[in-house]
Amino acid sequence: MYVIVCSRPNLARVMSVVSKYMSNSGKNLWQAVKWILRYLKGTRNLGIMFERQYEEACITRFVDSDYARDLDNRRFTTGYVFTCSGGPTCWRSMLQSVSASSIMEVEYMILMEVAKEAI
Q: Is there a single domain that holds both residue 39 and residue 6?
A: yes
Q: Is there a single domain that holds both residue 63 and residue 118?
A: yes
15-29 pLDDT tens trace: 777 887 777 778 888
The pTM for the full model equals 0.58
Task: Give residue 61's domain range.
Answer: 50-119
Judged by DSSP in three states, 84 sits in: strand
Tally of structural domains, the chain:
2
Kindly tell me if the per-residue pLDDT of 87 is higher than 70.
Answer: yes
